[in-house]
Amino acid sequence: MGNKGQVTVFLCLVLLSLLILGLTSVEMVRVSMGGARAAEAADGAAQEIKAAYNRRLFDEYHLLAVDRNFGGQGEGKMEEMAEDYLEYTFDGSDDYDMTVKSVELADCRGLLENDCENMKKQITEYMKIYIETEGIKDLLEMITTERKAGTDTKTTIDNGQDDESSTDSLWIGTDPRNVLKHTLRGGILKIVTPSGGEPSDASYSEEDLPSGSRNDADEKWTDIEFDDLDAFKKQLGNWDAVDETGVTDDFYGICYAIEMFNTYTSKKAERPAECEVEYMIAGKDNDRDNLKGVVNRIIAHRLPVNLAYLLSDDSKMAAIDSIAFVLSLLPGVTYSAVKYLLAGCWAYAETLADIRCMLCGNNVQFIKTSKTWKTDIDSLGDLLTMQNEDYEGADAIGYKGYLAILLAEKHNDIYYRMADMIQLNLSQEDETFDMKNMIYGFSIDVDIEQRKKFAPFIESFPEINGIDDGYYRHGFRISTGY
């Protein structure tokens, strides 16, 4: 009988141990499942915030970002969204007894950070779908040709300092340089824009735009004079340096700017600025000044190319020769100087005719031939009445082609200036919109409590603090982005 009591006690102890072990195992599984459920819910909460991306920013510009200001409600609204998602997920989960303790937004990463790094990445990914990279080669070839033309024309002028006239005819007429100066008296835009096509000089506010102090002055782009040969030579090839890396790295951004924003010849939508791409190049606060800045830059690019052809055309140089000979008879004027100044003046007039053609939406031949040369040195006053023709050859170039070249020069600034235009446009309907608040990535710190049931605490489980207050705690940092 005594032995039977010992066996009973022994079996009770074994049963109690097994019961404790079983309940502990159940608790461990319950807590493990609770942690996994909490992690899954926290990730879902982060996705809930991501789904609240700024719809207009995506619809109009294909950029994914969340407004951390959330229409004036602030980051607290985003935290509230995540908390509501978690509470809804845990609602009715009696088996796990989960409660949301806190949700905090952290580590927000903006579209404009690191020189618009993520903005550039999203633009590149979007444009790769539509744009062939062969355009990079074409753009680089045009830039190389322009540089060579500028160098060659300067060399030709330097080598021709001792030229003498071979003509025996006496020209009678008005100095073409004075004719052109008279034609330009109303301003360069009156010549190159279609009738009534000058853009507005009404300012749009640049206050608090993302580019801030990055906008530079445009003072160096002044009208070219043809009275001093040395000053004229300095204008040949007077443009910002463009390297191959800059063109290659930002090619998709250049194409995106031309595709998504208004230009003088292509209006995408009714917006405060009609010359948005021109703003990215010139950085002025009104359409008129931005177009003028672009026109001046195109002149600087195109003039050497036209002049290089003109200097190689014997018949046209013969026409210049007779005029230069007569003008060189004046005191203090040398034949060679006036010869190349007249050539520059004629090439300048041809360049204005080209730009007028391009601003009418047509193409011109990149390197001219005798058939595509439009102007005559004896009638430079007819620029306003010249008929615009559309060149369709393989080496055709239009206004957008030159915008691409000019954007390549400003590749360090174009993303900030794109952000300027986006902010200017979207803030027309939403005054709280600010590109500085657009975030493409963020983290949320989530703290979740789970009520204890069977075991007082389990210390061996990772990420669970054994505080003897009746709860386990699950803490997570979930990071996400577009």
**Inter-residue contact 236 to 150 (CB < 8 Å):** yes
Higher pLDDT among residues 299 and 456, named by residue: 299
Domain presence at residue 428: no
Render pLDDT for 242-257 as a digit per residue (tens, 0 to 9): 767 767 788 999 999 9
Model confidence at 24, pLDDT cuts 50, 70, 90, reads: low
Domain presence at residue 372: yes
Domain presence at residue 443: no
d(CA 179, CA 382): 10
User: Measuring CA to CA, how many Å separate 63 from each of 59, 93, 118?
Assistant: 8, 38, 10
Tokens of 247: 């063109």
Residue 125 has what pLDDT?
93
Mean pLDDT of the chain: 85
Domain presence at residue 244: yes
Long-range contacts of 261-265, Cβ-Cβ distance < 8 Å, separation of 24 or more: 261/418, 261/421, 263/399, 263/400, 263/403, 264/193, 264/199, 264/291, 264/294, 264/359, 264/399, 265/358, 265/359, 265/360, 265/361, 265/398, 265/399, 265/400
Model confidence at 444, pLDDT cuts 50, 70, 90, reads: very high
Residue 473 has what pLDDT?
81
DSSP letter at 194?
P
Model confidence at 62, pLDDT cuts 50, 70, 90, reads: very high
Q: Over range 258-275, report the average pLDDT.
A: 93
Tell me: do 258 and 313 sit in the same domain.
yes
- The beta-strand segments (E) located in 111-240 are none
Render pLDDT for 63-87 as a digit per residue (tens, 0 to 9): 999 999 887 888 889 999 999 998 8
**Inter-residue contact 149 to 344 (CB < 8 Å):** no
Domain presence at residue 156: yes
Tell me: do 231 and 372 sit in the same domain.
yes
Tell me: do 245 and 326 sit in the same domain.
yes
Higher pLDDT among residues 396 and 18, named by residue: 396
Residue 53 has what pLDDT?
94
Model confidence at 360, pLDDT cuts 50, 70, 90, reads: very high
Tell me: do 254 and 391 sit in the same domain.
yes
Count of domains for the chain: 2
- DSSP string over 370-392: TTT----GGGGGGGGGPPP----
Residue 411 has what pLDDT?
80
Domain presence at residue 420: no
Tokens of 56: 């207009």
Tell me: do 39 and 107 sit in the same domain.
yes
Check whether 221 has a pLDDT greater than 50: yes
Domain end point (choices 356, 389, 412) = 412
Render pLDDT for 295-350 as a digit per residue (tens, 0 to 9): 999 999 999 999 999 999 999 999 999 999 888 888 878 889 999 999 999 999 99
d(CA 153, CA 311): 8
Residue 459 has what pLDDT?
47
Model confidence at 204, pLDDT cuts 50, 70, 90, reads: confident
Domain end point (choices 357, 386, 412) = 412
DSSP letter at 285?
S
- Among the ranges given (138-142, 318-322, 333-337, 351-355), the one the predictor scored with the smallest mean pLDDT: 138-142
pTM of the model: 0.85
Tell me: do 93 and 189 sit in the same domain.
no
Q: Over range 263-276, report the average pLDDT.
A: 92
Check whether 2 has a pLDDT greater than 50: yes
Domain presence at residue 432: no
DSSP letter at 464?
B
d(CA 187, CA 169): 35
Range of the domain at 316: 131-412
Percent of the chain having pLDDT more than 70?
88
**Inter-residue contact 38 to 446 (CB < 8 Å):** yes
Q: Over range 121-139, report the average pLDDT.
A: 83
Q: Over range 207-231, report the average pLDDT.
A: 72
Domain presence at residue 252: yes
Check whether 175 has a pLDDT greater than 60: yes
Backbone angles phi and psi of 106, in degrees to 5: -150, 160
d(CA 67, CA 74): 9
Tell me: do 223 and 369 sit in the same domain.
yes
Render pLDDT for 91-124 as a digit per residue (tens, 0 to 9): 866 666 788 889 999 889 999 999 999 999 999 9
Tokens of 72: 């004036």
- Among the ranges given (22-36, 120-134, 357-371, 385-399), the one the predictor scored with the smallest mean pLDDT: 22-36
> Which range, 221-230, 281-290, 466-475, is most confident?
281-290
Domain end point (choices 412, 432, 467) = 412
Render pLDDT for 411-427 as a digit per residue (tens, 0 to 9): 878 999 999 999 999 99
Tell me: do 135 and 109 sit in the same domain.
no
Render pLDDT for 146-167 as a digit per residue (tens, 0 to 9): 888 888 888 888 888 778 877 7
Higher pLDDT among residues 226 and 8, named by residue: 226
Residue 471 has what pLDDT?
74
Tell me: do 216 and 172 sit in the same domain.
yes
Tell me: do 275 and 402 sit in the same domain.
yes
Tell me: do 190 and 326 sit in the same domain.
yes
**Inter-residue contact 225 to 231 (CB < 8 Å):** yes
Tell me: do 357 and 461 sit in the same domain.
no
DSSP 3-state assignment of 265? coil
